[in-house]
Copies of this chain bind each other. A is one copy, B any other.
Amino acid sequence: MTEKRITIVEKIMDANDRLASENQRRLDLENIFAINLMASPGAGKTSFILATINALLDQQVKIGVIEGDTAPVTIDADKIIAAGMPAVQVNTGGECHLDAVMVENALDQLPLETLDLIIVENVGNLICPAAFNLGTHSNVLISSVPEGDDKPYKYPNIYRGLDVLIINKIDLLPYVDFDMDYFRQGVEMLNPGLVTFALSCKTGEGLDNWLTWLKAKLL
């Protein structure tokens, strides 16, 4: 049984990679930069997307959002739409990650010809999303200060595949035990030189550096 299972899993991963490449070709044709945004539940993915949307409002950057949820709730998608940008909610039906098919279906529902940037908010999970290519250009992880400084040591796989790391909720640093040096050492072992931005979506501190990086990608 084990052998049969492995063969089937391999087929699923191959099919996913093929579809991911097609998604990326489609995004490139429309000149859209796309981000796969991952994090634990409650690290601040939606707040980060909203802060990015609001900061770029006066710069004519049009952002589409794909909201991955394990349940049919539109709480996050509603917030994006209220902020004036198109959003599509993908209900994974209990599945623990997005895959390339789900993103393909979501792309069908977005006005691609008008967009500069797509942010895919993956399901809140530090493990499963790391294994599935979506066809996006950049893997971004949000780690938040109250989650603790040992996360790179405990969930190494997701850190290895990252292009950018966001350390969110730095406004809570005075109230929790978080050793920034220990955290950064763990990241450096897994992904040397990883582009990292420490910021607070609540106070806006540190957001500028992230926006500078992002705007350079949209040129």
Q: Could you list which residues of chain A lie within 8 angstroms of chain B, going by C-beta atoms?
A: 1, 4-5, 8, 11, 40-42, 69-71, 73, 75-76, 94-96, 123-128, 144, 146-148, 150-151, 153-157, 169, 171-172, 175-176
Contact B40 A71 (CB under 8 A): no
Determine the chain B residues whose CB is within 8 A of the CB of A126 once the complex forms.
Answer: 41, 124-125
Determine the chain B residues whose CB is within 8 A of the CB of A147 once the complex forms.
Answer: 40-42
A153's closest neighbor in chain B, by CB? B73
Contact A128 B96 (CB under 8 A): yes
Query: What CA separation (Å) do A157 and B126 show in the bound complex?
Result: 18
Determine the chain B residues whose CB is within 8 A of the CB of A1 once the complex forms.
Answer: 8, 11
Q: How far is the CB of A80 from chain B (nearest CB, A)?
A: 14
Known: A41-B154, A70-B155, A71-B154. 14 other contacts (CB 8 A): A1-B8, A4-B4, A5-B8, A40-B40, A41-B126, A41-B151, A41-B155, A71-B157, A94-B157, A95-B127, A96-B127, A96-B128, A125-B125, A175-B175
Q: How far is the CB of A89 from chain B (nearest CB, A)?
A: 11
Contact A153 B71 (CB under 8 A): yes
Q: Which residue in B75, B125, B150 is a CB contact (below 8 Å) of A127? A: B125
Task: Say whether, besides A42-B40, A125-B125, A154 and B96 are in contact (CB < 8 Å).
Answer: no
Contact A70 B154 (CB under 8 A): yes
- Contact sample, A vs B, 15 pairs, CB 8 Å cutoff: A1-B11, A40-B124, A42-B146, A69-B154, A70-B155, A70-B157, A73-B154, A75-B150, A94-B127, A94-B157, A96-B96, A125-B126, A125-B128, A127-B128, A175-B175
Determine the chain B residues whose CB is within 8 A of the CB of A151 once the complex forms.
Answer: 41-42
Determine the chain B residues whose CB is within 8 A of the CB of A69 once the complex forms.
Answer: 154
Q: How far is the CB of A205 from chain B (nearest CB, A)?
A: 14
The 4 closest A-B pairs by CB, nearest first: A42-B147, A146-B146, A96-B127, A40-B41
Contact B150 A70 (CB under 8 A): no
Determine the chain B residues whose CB is within 8 A of the CB of A76 once the complex forms.
Answer: 154
